[in-house]
Structures are given as C-alpha cells and as structure tokens.
Amino acid sequence: MSELKVGIIFGGVFEEHPVSVKSAQEVAKNLDADKYEAYWIGITKSGDWRLCDGPEASWEDGAHRPVVLSPDRSVHGLLVLDEGNEGGSYETIRLDVVLPVLHGKLGEDGAIQGLLELSGIPYVGCDVQSSALCMDKSLAYTVVGEAGIPTPNFWILGPGESVDPDVLPYPVFVKPARSGSSFGVSKVTSAAELAEAVATARQYDDKVLVEEGVVAEEIGCAILGNGAELVTGEVDHVALSHGFFKIHQEDAPETGSENATFIVPADIPAEAQELVKTEAQRVYRALGCRGLARVDMFLQADGTVVLNEVNTLPGLTSYSRYPRMMAAAGISMTEFLDRAVTLALEESPR
C-alpha cells in the first residue's frame, strides 16, 4: 500500500502561533512514517505560506518554497511556486488529506476549514459550521443551552457596547468571545475592575463575553470520533492553586504550570467521571463536532456539570491536555493521529 500524502498546516498569524509550532513538533515526532508522507506547510507570523522540511524551531529561517493551497478541486492539493521564475511556473502536489495543526483565529473558527472545503481535500477535525460555533463562546453557550446542557450565565458585549457594572454578580470572567489559550481573559472581582478587563479582551476580539464565575472544579474530556461512534480519553482535573488556567502564556510550560496541576484520571468519583463523559458527548453532538475536540467543563459540588468551552483543534504539545487524556486511555499519539486521519477520510464524501 502506498503512503498517504498528508499536508500538515501549522503556524498562523495570530497569538497562538507558537503553540501551533509546538503542536506540530509533536506531530512530527509521532506521525507514522511508514503510512504517511508528510508535506509541512508553515504559515509565518506575517502570513506567508511556506513548504518546509518540518516544524523545527528554525523552520522560518531554513530552506523553503512559497506554496498555496489550491481552491481548484481538480488540483486537490498544493501549488508550489517557483519563487525565482518571473513566468509564474509552479509544481502541483496532490494531497490525500490535510491535518490542520492550527489553534485560535483562522485555525479553529472555520476559516481554514472553508478553504479546505473549496479545495475538495478531506481534512481532520470539525467542519466549517461547528468550528465557527465552538470558536464563538457565546454561540456555543446558546446552542448547548437550547439542548438542555447547563452553561454559565453570560452577557455579550458587541463593538461599542457596555454593561452596567453594578448589575453583575462578582466575580465574573471577561473574555474575548473568539480567542483561545486564555489570551485576553481577566477575572474581575469588583465593578472598578470591569472597564480595564473589557479593554484587555477587546485587544483580541471586538466581541466580548462577560461570564458569571462558577464555583467548581475544572474538568476536561478528550473526544475522538464521528456521529454515534465516539471514543473518550480519561477525564482530567485541572487543580488550580490560584488564579485561572493559562499555561500557554507561561514562560516555560514544558517544565510545568505556575498555578495548575493536571490529574489524569481525574480524582473524582467514578460516577462523576461517567457523567462528565456523557455530558461532553452531548455537547460534542449538539455543536455538530466531528473528528476530535476537547470539551472543558465545570463539576460543581452538587455533582452537576456546566460547560466551560470547546476546543476543536486542541493543543498537541508535550504538555497539552488532549494527548495526555488519550494516552491515559491507552491511545498513543501515533495511534491518535492515525485514527484522526482515518476518520477524516471516512467522513469525506469525495
């Protein structure tokens, strides 16, 4: 059997660029070279697309060729440009599948998924609609709330809008509605802190979510699968010593978090673990997810579960939660990547 040609897109122009590169480095270490021929497509911080040898730390400085993903379905892959040829010659590379290793804006919000739909290439992960829904926390809350799944109380601030600080039940969390890795998130304990927190969130998105603080344990569930056939990793517990979880903004996350300990399997009763898995799957299906996602939830003292957020392309770094939860369930990174690619090919009607 010939190797499948896999295009792996990483990097990006927004704040989660460094996390994406680290995720891609783990993919490079674990992708089965006997099954897959990898084509590494790095997007620089300035937005240049480059065909490179891999996601090593110096990938932006190494040898590369300009490349674009063709929206022409007859090409079904890449156009590799001849940078020195003024005649505009190019080489085509047909891809069997694409693995987007992109986080946050233009990676998880349906943008790259839309381009892949135009190209006709099967791709790993959620489709355009579910990616957009999950990326916008206010939309995700609205949809799952209609499905009968508890969410925090929240207020939405559009561009130029505000909320009366005296009506909020402090503490609240102020977040960009469409961002990830806790960028722009603030915990607000009084009305005097609200304006600054909203301004911070607006640095990342002009739509802001003000969310009532939930007194609970932070629990995560890694999901892999399509439709009715879903596999879950072991549930994890993010035990915080103070503040809130923001490991991707720390100086040396590979050596451990400044304020969080990760317990896998979660140190909660077996029945609570099963409830988290069941509710996470309900969230996954309500939002139309496919391929993979990490569903983060709050487990309250009375045993009820409340949605926190959904990450449709969760971090795959050496310190990330998703691969750790899968590994605890006996699914290695290599096996996870193989299953994710297989799911993408099965789901594709092309």
Asked if residues 59 and 48 have their Cβ atoms less than 8 Å apart, the reply is no
Asked if residues 232 and 280 have their Cβ atoms less than 8 Å apart, the reply is yes
- 207 annotated active-site: no
- 148 annotated active-site: no
- 19 annotated active-site: yes
Q: Which of 238, 319, 321, 339 is catalytic?
A: 319
Helix 17-30 vs helix 333-347: angle between axes, to the nearest 10 degrees?
Answer: 100
Q: Which of 12, 16, 19, 144 is catalytic?
A: 19
Q: Which of 294, 321, 324, 339 is catalytic?
A: 294
- 335 annotated active-site: no
Q: Which of 64, 248, 277, 290 is catalytic?
A: 248
Look up residue 136 and give its amino acid: D
Tokens (6 digits) for 326: 């899968």
Tokens (6 digits) for 5: 């040609």
Q: How many CB atoms lie within 10 A of CB 254?
A: 10
Tokens (6 digits) for 266: 């979660």
Nearest in space to 209 (alpha carbons), one of 103, 136, 304, 261: 136
What's the CA gap between 304 and 291, in Å, rounded?
A: 27
Asked if residues 307 and 301 have their Cβ atoms less than 8 Å apart, the reply is no
Rounded to 5 degrees, what are φ and ψ at 76? Answer: 55, 45
- 193 annotated active-site: no
- 284 annotated active-site: no
At residue 58, the 3 state secondary structure works out as coil
Q: Which of 64, 103, 178, 290 is catalytic?
A: 103
Q: Which of 3, 91, 254, 346 is catalytic?
A: 254
- 315 annotated active-site: yes
- The four Cα atoms 174, 154, 150, 281 give a dihedral, to 10 degrees, of -50
Q: Which of 17, 22, 64, 237 is catalytic?
A: 22
- 350 annotated active-site: no
Rounded to 5 degrees, what are φ and ψ at 327? Answer: -60, -40
Active-site residue numbers?
Answer: 19, 22, 103, 248, 254, 294, 315, 319
